[in-house]
Amino acid sequence: MRIWDCHCHCTGDETGKDVLKAMDAAGIERINLFSDYPWREVGGRRVPHGPGSYATREELRACVDHIAKVQSADPSRIYGLVWIDPRSPFAVQEVERGIVDKGLRGVKLIPDQWFPYDEMLFPLYRKMEELGKPIMFHSGIVYGFGDSSRYCMPVGFEVLLNFPKLRFSLAHMGWPWVDEYLAVFGSFWASVGYDKDKTLMFVDTCPGTPDAWRTEAMQKAVPFVGTGRLMFGTDAHPKSLLKNAPRHVGRDLSILREVIGVSQEQLDEFFWGACEKFMAD
């Protein structure tokens, strides 16, 4: 079975060779790989830019250039996305440079000190519509970004209805707000006449739902969303892929086969086909 991991993070020191070796060991054929975040150094620790602060152009550029170099090792297997701080006045320019000049495949965003519906995001949304590339958002509770979960509640992403050509995903099934998340998917589904093949919101099922909640979340998501818009992901980094990918694949296979009872065609959509549609040029 072909596996496309839709959600994996760089730590900033990987090479393309490192990533490919990790993918092979973990049984991952393709991967959406996010750049490192443009952190700032405080007291020897890397932390997000807080209120009144944002990433410099040099920090954004470093993220773009590193993930582009990693992707260049094999662009047919490594799909690089740049993780940016959209509050930076250089964000749109660096995203365009990364996609147009460096061949990156999209953008990763975690709402932090900003809401998805803040108007400062609109130029980026319009640019991504113009470029025809997706945005992969975090949604749900955030670990490691302080008091940020309030920015990531699923209902805040309904603003994207105003950008009908923007392809996007929300991660972690919005846990713990899974029902709210699926209701938001329903809004986007309804906006295109209840045609899931035209729905530009995709569901990133990477962990965030702990195992104790995973089965219930998948039992809701599979019949409501359909496997054609459900993407498998690990939320790992290359160094942890071998540990995490087989466990996550095995757990989701068990839920899908033994609890929900999906077909092989649906399994193929979940582990490969949905992400292939999402990342299509």
Taking Cα atoms as reference points, which of 235, 242, 240 lies closest to residue 25?
242
Q: What is the pLDDT of residue 40?
A: 67
Tokens representing residue 234 in the block: 């690990």
Region 220-227: mean pLDDT is 98
Q: What is the pLDDT of residue 216?
A: 97
Q: What is the pLDDT of residue 38?
A: 85
39-64 confidence digits (pLDDT tens): 666 666 666 776 777 888 999 999 99
* Residue at 110: amino acid letter: I
Contact 230, 7 (CB under 8 A): no
Whole-angstrom Cα distance, residue 103 to residue 281?
A: 11
Contact 139, 172 (CB under 8 A): yes
pTM for this prediction: 0.96
Domains along the chain with CATH numbers: 4-278 (3.20.20.140)
Region 149-157: mean pLDDT is 97
> HEC string of 99-162?
HHHCCCCEEEECCCCCCCCCHHHHHHHHHHHHHCCCEEECCCCCCCCCCCHHHCCHHHHHHHHH
Tokens representing residue 52 in the block: 């009144």
Region 219-233: mean pLDDT is 98
Region 132-147: mean pLDDT is 91
